[in-house]
């Protein structure tokens, strides 16, 4: 038997095996949790709390409208940024394709023929129906200087295809152009990309 240490338990209460008698019979500062251990535990708890909060906010953030974003036109000559206006209606602005100095020379309004094509709002007024089709809008064709009524919807099998049907009178007598998604929807996809050169 070693002097100064407790023996194996003999059935007596309050026996601590293998510790010096002085430690077994008194509790000092060494028996309390160290301050750095407490701080570490608190930091881990705070980190987990922040993680759950971030995940909760991410899950609560609504996904952007899938039709929003940048679309390459069928003839590959223009890029249209489709977005939502303040009233929830769908609109589209020409953000790529024409040269910066290419003007809207075929516009039926002589006062607008000097404006640059790049940056103008080509699409406006579209309202989403329950069937997922955007209707009641119009699209301006800068190459012809004409405005058509139109409907917009995503492709049935491919959400990276946008079907733009322009028509005169009724949709039955029109033509559908297929646009290709250039960029996937992001958090700012449904925001007006800001008019270029002050065009509207």
Provide the token pair at 17: 């095996």
Q: Enumerate long-range contacts of 46-53, CB under 8 Å, 24 or more apart.
A: none
Q: Is 154 exposed, middle or buried (0-12, 13-18, 19+ CB in 10 A)?
A: middle
Helix (H) or strand (E) holding 39: helix 35-60
What pLDDT is stored for residue 139 in this prediction? 96
Q: Is 190 exposed, middle or buried (0-12, 13-18, 19+ CB in 10 A)?
A: buried
How much is the pTM? 0.65
What pLDDT is stored for residue 25 in this prediction? 44
What gap in Å lies between CA 153 and CA 157, rounded to an integer?
A: 12
SS (H, E, C) 128-179: ECCCCCEEEEEEEECCCCEEEEEEEEECCCCCCEEEEEEECCCCCCEEEEEE
What pLDDT is stored for residue 56 in this prediction? 44
Helix (H) or strand (E) holding 21: helix 21-25
What pLDDT is stored for residue 90 in this prediction? 96
What gap in Å lies between CA 177 and CA 56, rounded to an integer?
A: 40
Q: What is the pLDDT along the chain (200 residues), one digit of tens a residue?
A: 444 444 444 444 444 445 444 444 444 444 445 666 666 677 766 665 665 444 443 344 445 578 999 999 999 999 999 999 999 999 999 999 888 889 999 999 999 999 999 999 999 999 999 888 999 999 999 999 999 999 999 998 898 999 999 998 877 788 999 999 987 667 778 888 875 544 55
């Amino acid at each position: 038997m070693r002097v100064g240490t407790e023996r194996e338990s003999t059935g007596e209460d309050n026996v601590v095996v293998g510790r010096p008698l002085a430690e077994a019979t008194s509790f000092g500062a060494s028996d309390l949790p160290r301050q750095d251990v407490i701080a570490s535990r608190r930091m881990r708890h705070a980190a987990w709390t922040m993680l759950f909060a971030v995940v909760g906010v991410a899950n609560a953030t609504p996904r952007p409208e899938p039709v929003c974003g940048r679309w390459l036109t069928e003839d590959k000559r223009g890029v249209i940024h489709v977005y939502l206006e303040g009233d929830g209606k769908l609109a589209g602005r020409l953000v790529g394709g024409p040269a910066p100095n290419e003007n809207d020379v075929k516009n039926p309004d002589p006062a607008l023929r000097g404006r640059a094509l790049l940056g103008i709002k080509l699409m406006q007024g579209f309202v989403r129906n329950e069937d997922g089709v955007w209707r009641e809008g119009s699209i301006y064709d800068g190459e012809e200087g004409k405005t058509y009524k139109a409907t917009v919807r995503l492709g049935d099998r491919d959400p990276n295809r946008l079907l733009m049907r322009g028509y005169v009178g009724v949709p039955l007598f029109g033509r559908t152009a297929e646009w290709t998604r250039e960029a996937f929807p992001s958090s700012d996809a449904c925001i007006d990309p800001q008019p270029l050169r002050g065009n509207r």
